[in-house]
Amino acid sequence: MHWEYTAARVLFRVGISKGTVRAAMNVGLFGGTFDPIHRGHLALARAASEAYALGRVYFVPANIPPHKQRTHASYFDRYAMVALATSVEKIFVPSLLEAPEAAPRENYTIDTIRRLKPQFKKSDKLFLLIGIDAFKDIAKWRESDAIFRECEFIVASRPGFSLADVATSLPEKLRPAPAVIKPFAKHSAKGDLVLPGVTVHLLDHVEEKVSATAIRDAVRAKKPLGKLVDPAVAEYIRKRELYKNR
């Protein structure tokens, strides 16, 4: 599997060349286990890119995710699938920021951001891509206040969530008083939520209903994966015989 790591390193290095002179850029950071990467992930990245003019989106598979006890596929298999799924989009870049060599221990989002940002211009703006279910736990993340200082959020919303739900999820130091949050309950979670120290952009039109759990279940049930993942990812899963066992 060493060739995948070496090739991946080259892909990442090409993504940001220190000697390159360019205009300011909006940059997306999309982290996760990607176990496996699926059409829902890609739909969010495309929608975010179009809505907020992202010039590049880094897909960062986690090596040892702090919120999960284990992954079902190895880091290198998950990275390989990310590389395959993102290969057709010029602005999508598979990243090794959390590879075993770079993050041998449990890694947190704030650590990844701090490793990434020095490679950009000061005028570049960083956006963190995340689903609304994960955002609900954002206050529990390590140095969550610092994450909001470092970047803006692009959140894939869905029916049933209000702006009050989003505001209530904020870290305590950034969370408005209950009296301020209460009127937000009448508004669905869409548009922008801008508060002191907080900018959250809510995308309410990302409609891909797919999960990594459903994909793993489909593999074990020997069901086709065409509607769930990119064809190249489906072929990789088949060849590597991934997710056959629980």
Judge whether 25 and 124 are in contact, CB under 8 Å: yes
The pLDDT of residue 21:
62
Judge whether 42 and 85 are in contact, CB under 8 Å: yes
The pLDDT of residue 20:
52
The pLDDT of residue 9:
36
The pLDDT of residue 8:
37
Q: Number of helices (H) and strands (E) in the chain: give both, helices first.
A: 10, 7
Identify the CATH class of 2-8+26-209. Answer: alpha beta
Give the residue extent of every domain in the chain: 2-8+26-209
∠ Cα 24 192 178 (to 5°): 130
The pLDDT of residue 207:
74
CA distance from start to end of the chain: 22
CB atoms within 10 A of CB 2: 7
Residue pLDDT tens, the chain, 246 long: 333 333 333 333 334 444 556 689 999 999 999 999 999 999 999 999 999 999 999 999 999 877 766 899 999 999 999 999 999 999 999 999 999 887 667 789 999 999 999 989 999 999 999 999 999 999 999 999 999 999 999 999 999 999 999 999 999 999 999 999 999 999 999 999 999 999 999 999 887 789 999 999 999 999 999 999 999 999 999 999 999 987
Report the C-alpha gap between 124 and 120 in whole angstroms: 6
Model confidence, pTM: 0.88
The pLDDT of residue 17:
46
∠ Cα 149 165 33 (to 5°): 65
